[in-house]
Every structure is written in structure tokens, then in C-alpha cells.
Amino acid sequence: MNGQTAIVTGGGRGIGRTIAEFLAQRGVNVVIVGVNIDIAHNASSELEKLGIKSIAVKADVSNAPDVNNIFERALREFGRVEILINNAGITKDGLLLRMREEDWDTVININLKGTFLCSREAVKVMSKQRYGRIINIASVIAFTGNPGQVNYGASKAGIVGLTKTIAKEYASRNITVNAVAPGFIMTAMTETIPENIKQDMINAIPLGRFGVPEDVANAVIFLASTEASYITGQVIHINGGMYM
């Protein structure tokens, strides 16, 4: 992977940041994408200390012109893009009857449409290269459902369908497309869960703990590597056994 270029959406913090670090440790130049440019810049500067080149791009992944700009900047800087990690994602929870249409739209737009827009740009570049790795971050919730997350669960289930479809469309161009489905991973997204509920959740996890971003990054790095060249259209579950 040394010398390749990766785009990591939401690479400024949480799971995306750890994925970006793991890529940088393997000599990959990284484009960090986020809405908060200070967070993205900070991550980029830290990554450069590992001896690679990194740029930060401010972009809302649900906005097509922003997404075009990510790829323009990446190509101007690095000339190629071998790896796309569609990691940017949010939650806006609420039970179905109380879910505001606006919260449905926002979650679907960022999580699902964002993955579509970034993948659409990526395959243009990767098709010309005859090489590419797209890794999408889904969720265990796509498979189990979760009360209060109708928008999030639908967005992540959508990502699974999108992954398999793009995998079939672009296999002939040597582009593999896979997803990982994390369970509960300790980041800002999960830190607001009340302690008593956290304990109930841990009790339901056979391995007896929440995951850490490194658990997800290890699987993503494998899928991004040449060792995974015969794997496409798959979902790797990273959940401590809570869903089998």
C-alpha cells in the first residue's frame, strides 16, 4: 500500500481518524474530509508526522459539488486515488411516530447519499486506473434493527445494498467494494449512552466489551490491501459476537 492515496470521509475523529492513522502507518497518503475543517486540519498535521503527505478538505458528503471538490483536490495533489473509505456518518434518533421528516432526510443524505456521491466520483478515477478499493462503514443496526434508529438503520442497510451493487458493476475494472458492519464502538457517537444501558449492552456482547476504533481499522486495512484482492461485495461484521 506504500505510496497509494486514500480518501477518508469523516477522517478527522472517531473511527475514521484511526483508519486514517493505520493507512498512514502503511505509507498511504491520506485526504481527510470533514465538515469541521479545524478537526480535519489537525488530523492531517498529525498524520504528516508519520512521514506521509496529507491534505484536509472541508466538505459535506451529501453535497455533490463538495464531493467533486474532494476528488479534484485529491487528484491535483496526488494524481491518483486507490482507496476510498466512506466513513462519514451521523445519528439523529427518535421513535418512528416522533421522527421528524427533517431528521430522516439528514441521516439518509449524509450516511447513504454521501456514500453514493463519493463512490460515484471514485469509480471514475479508479476505472481509469484499473484498480480501486472502496470500503463502506455500515453498522450492525442494518442487520438487527434498533428502536429509535429507523433513519440510521435504513441508511446503513442501504449501504449494504449499494456495496453489493457497485461491487458487481465495477469488478471488471478491478475495483473491489466491501463494507464493514461495526457493533458498538467507543467514540463520540456512543459516549452519550447512559451507563446502565451501556452495561445491558455489554451483557449482550459475547466478548464482553465494546469495540474500539482499532478493531474496525484492522478489518478496513485488510480490505484495502492487495491481500484482499479476491474479496468483493462482502460485509465483515465487527461486533464482539453480538450478532452472528
What is the C-alpha separation between 57 and 161, in angstroms, rounded? 28
118 counts as binding ligand NAP under rule CB under 6 A: no
Helix (H) or strand (E) holding 48: helix 37-48
158 counts as binding ligand NAP under rule CB under 6 A: no
Stretch that binds ligand NAP, among 117-125, 143-151, 187-195, 225-233 (CB under 6 A): 187-195
Cβ of residue 215: shortest distance to ligand NAP, in angstroms? Answer: 10
Binding-site member from 122, 137, 154, 167 for ligand NAP (CB under 6 A) = 137
117 counts as binding ligand NAP under rule CB under 6 A: no
What is the C-alpha separation between 129 and 228, in angstroms, rounded? 18
How large is the angle between the packed helices 213-224 and 14-25, nearest 10 degrees? 50
39 counts as binding ligand NAP under rule CB under 6 A: yes
Cβ of residue 188: shortest distance to ligand NAP, in angstroms? Answer: 4
Stretch that binds ligand NAP, among 123-131, 160-168, 180-188, 192-200 (CB under 6 A): 180-188
Taking every pair of C-alpha atoms in the chain, what is the biggest distance, in angstroms? 52
Distant-in-sequence contacts of 74-78, Cβ < 8 A, 24+ apart: 74/5, 74/7, 74/31, 75/125, 77/29, 77/31, 77/53, 78/5, 78/29, 78/31, 78/53
Comparing CB distances to ligand NAP, the nearer of 44 and 87 is: 87
87 counts as binding ligand NAP under rule CB under 6 A: yes
Let me know the angle formed at the C-alpha of 243 by 190 and 194, rounded to the nearest 5 degrees.
25
Q: Is 170 one of the annotated active-site residues of the chain? A: no
CB atoms near residue 188 (< 10 Å): 8
Comparing CB distances to ligand NAP, the nearer of 182 and 240 is: 182
- Of the candidates 152, 170, 230, 243, the residue annotated as catalytic is 152
* DSSP conformational letter for 185: B
Counting beta carbons within 10 angstroms of the beta carbon of residue 201, is it exposed (0 to 12), middle (13 to 18) or buried (19 or more)?
A: middle
115 counts as binding ligand NAP under rule CB under 6 A: no
Comparing CB distances to ligand NAP, the nearer of 60 and 131 is: 60
Phi, then psi, of 86 in degrees rounded to 5: -85, 90
78 counts as binding ligand NAP under rule CB under 6 A: no
Catalytic residue IDs:
152
Q: In the complex, which residues of this chain contact ligand NAP (CB under 6 A)?
A: 9-10, 12-16, 33-36, 39, 59-62, 87-90, 110, 137, 139, 182, 184-185, 187-190
